[in-house]
Amino acid sequence: MLTRRPGVLEELTCDRHALPTQRTTNTAGDVPLFDFRFLELKKILMKAGQPIKLPDGNQFLLFCDDQIEMPLIMHRGRQALQGTIIAYRRFLDEVERTWHGASISLELGLASSDFVQSLSLFGRVTEAREWMMRKNPFPPEGNVEEWVRDAAAFLKKFGSGSSRSLALSALSKDELVLHPRRVNIPRNFWTLTEGGLLVNSKTLPADVVEALQHNEFELAPCNRVIASACNLCGESYLACACSRLLDGATPEPELRFAFPYWRYAPKSFILEEPLAGGPPAMRP
């Protein structure tokens, strides 16, 4: 998805800024939320001397699925944008090797004095990597018409965009970006007990019950990362430069259950091993 909308360059206080696709509120106000796996790209940028700013008060969420949800990364200029593209190429190389079968959504934005242009991408990591390895994964300043024709030819091999699929129905396009639409379960539908998470099936809509019976999707937990210690440097993994993908770090996150959600029944998980303080047992 390629968009162009009004924007003011002066609103960006740095060359590269990460904007979350999800937010929540608490007693302190607005809380920006990021996928915990985004930290790996942030660390690649750190190692390359390419800082990225995150909003204050942000929190990291650990989803139990194989969909990596990256934030919108906004840039003040094309030099910063190119640095992010190079970092993404390294990131996708490592993800393809380490988390085989994962899918990813990512957004790149470029601000000018008149408008903001953004490119939103959703697909399997293998396909996203192929796109990012192109000479111009983001529209160039000139020959935009030629870029659009090349992009259309690239997408044509995936078939008609009008064909119905679970992947398309699982996308949210509300913010003019493409990202997984994880459907949170209303608070009055579930109860957290010592034995696990209980969901009252009698209160679920009929179409949800039918989909569950056909194993189309299932209950999954989302955890909030309270803290995470790095085994390599001893510092907080949320702030240090050590990387699980690049350095073999094995962070030990302290987790707190946040909420349950529906996910499409996956064939594999990104997390190969249990994490300390992991999700509660699911008991529908």
3-state secondary structure 18-34: EECCEEEEECCEEEEEE
Structural domain spans, the chain: 1-284
Secondary structure (3-state) at 103: strand
pLDDT winner (highest mean) among 7-16, 88-97, 176-185: 88-97
Q: Give me 154's structure tokens.
A: 């690239």
In the chain, the percentage of residues whose pLDDT exceeds 90 is 42
Residues across the chain: 284
What distance in Å separates the CA atoms of residue 22 and residue 157, rounded to the nearest whole number? 31
| Average pLDDT score over residue span 54-70 | 89
> What is the overall mean pLDDT for the chain?
81
Residue 272 has pLDDT above 50, yes or no: no
DSSP state of 232: T
For 33-55, write each residue's pLDDT tens digit: 999 999 999 999 999 999 999 98
Number of helices and strands (H, E) in the chain?
7, 16
For 221-261, write each residue's pLDDT tens digit: 889 999 999 999 999 999 999 999 999 999 989 999 888 88
CA distances, 261 to each of 189, 215, 220 (Å):
11, 15, 5
Sheet with 2-6, edge to edge strand ranges: 2-6, 115-124, 103-111, 67-75, 16-19
Burial of 161 (0-12, 13-18, 19+ CB in 10 A): exposed
What is the residue type of 239? A
pLDDT winner (highest mean) among 28-42, 82-96, 180-194: 82-96
Strands (E), the chain: 2-6, 16-19, 22-26, 29-35, 59-63, 67-75, 103-111, 115-124, 171-172, 179-180, 183-184, 190-193, 196-199, 217-229, 252-264, 282-283
Is residue 269 very low, low, confident or very high in pLDDT (cuts 50, 70, 90)? very low
Residue from 45, 54, 176 nearest 120 by CA? 176
Whether 84 contacts 16, CB under 8 Å: yes
Question: Which of 89 and 181 is assigned the larger pLDDT?
Answer: 89
